[in-house]
Amino acid sequence: MLVDDFLRRRVLQVLSGQPSGVPEHVRALSEGDDAGWFAADSAPWAVHEDIATLVAGPRALLMQALHPGAMAGVHDHSRYREDPLGRLVGTIRWITTTTYGTREQAERACGWVRHLHEHVRGTYTDSSGASVAYAAQDADLVSWVHIAFADSFLRAFQAFSGREVPGGADAYVRDWAVAGELMGVPDPPRSVAQLEQRLEAFRPALVADDRVRDAVRFIRRPPLPNPVALTYPPLFWGAAETLPAWARQMLGVRRPDRLQVASTRAVLASTRRLLGRAAAPQQAELRLARLRGASGIPGASAP
């Protein structure tokens, strides 16, 4: 039990910045006066609570790196090499607040990210070799990041959760489009078919250059503390397993074998047992219970 407690605290420190796994922004999810953008039985609640997000995260980073504008923003403006855990915690904070928070909390979290993006500008070389000026909030860049995120979290859940998406896969894409709009995405996809069409439409713009190969090396072996670092390779293999074949080819990542995918499932299962249920939805449920007690209204509102 002492070993389990030590491991649990180390993993939670990496994921939340707090060994308890309940930092202040998670506690704040119990506060507020509305049910939020997503219902408690919605697809985003289920997908973002599942341990398969540990695979979805590196998969999303791999996909996002293929757009030269998104890669330029990360390469030129991000401190992901110097502070990869800080960037991870910040991303998780945005996901959990947007998913489980009140509408005001979600809008504030998305506004905070958009504010950070205001200063992310520069140039990149596109797939034709031309120099292109960019800003992080350009429509094509925020659209690509949203699409790669939604596709990654959906595919990881389908591959490794062992459950069906509540309401079906289309429900996740449709509901999470709300988050895309909050982030400034114009007309985000609202079905799996639309998501796949948008991915296909982006393919001519994608590039696998030296920056991408460098990012892949970093994502494959990030500087994580032990013992978390020992369990990371199977998470990367799970990310590679769920990538489209064309993306694996561009990234120079081979498809893992059966034993490697089995190790992904084993690591996710053991981590699920170790951590138990995530704190964020539990804190949100406290808020919903309080709202029901105060007014008798249903537990959450759908977007």
Residue 37 and residue 83: Cα distance in Å, rounded? 31
Q: Nearest Cα to 67, choosing from 182, 257, 209? A: 209
Domain count, the chain: 1
pLDDT tens, position by position, 44-60: 999 999 999 999 999 99
Dihedral sign from CA coordinates of 55, 176, 117, 283: negative
| Owning domain of residue 31 | 2-295
pLDDT band at 18; cut points 50, 70, 90? confident
pLDDT of 65 > 70? The answer is yes
Is 302 within the bounds of a domain? no
Q: Which amino acid is at 183?
A: M
Q: What is the rounded radius of gyration, in angstroms, for the C-alpha atoms of the chain?
A: 19
Residue 131 and residue 141: Cα distance in Å, rounded? 16
pLDDT recorded at residue 303: 40
232, exposed or middle or buried, with CB in 10 Å at 0-12, 13-18, 19+? middle
Is 230 within the bounds of a domain? yes
Q: Nearest Cα to 74, choosing from 240, 249, 212? A: 212
pLDDT band at 299; cut points 50, 70, 90? very low
Q: Nearest Cα to 16, choosing from 87, 106, 92? A: 92
Is 203 within the bounds of a domain? yes
217, exposed or middle or buried, with CB in 10 Å at 0-12, 13-18, 19+? exposed
Residue 16 and residue 23: Cα distance in Å, rounded? 7
Strand-pair partners of 124: 132
pLDDT band at 295; cut points 50, 70, 90? low
End-to-end CA distance of the chain: 42
pLDDT recorded at residue 121: 94
pLDDT tens, position by position, 212-233: 999 999 999 999 888 889 999 9
Q: Which residues contact 155 (CB under 8 A, 6 or more apart)?
A: 56, 59, 242
Are 109 and 97 in contact by the 8 Å Cβ rule? The answer is yes
Q: Which residue has the higher pLDDT, 130 or 7?
A: 130
Average pLDDT, the chain: 92
Is 301 within the bounds of a domain? no
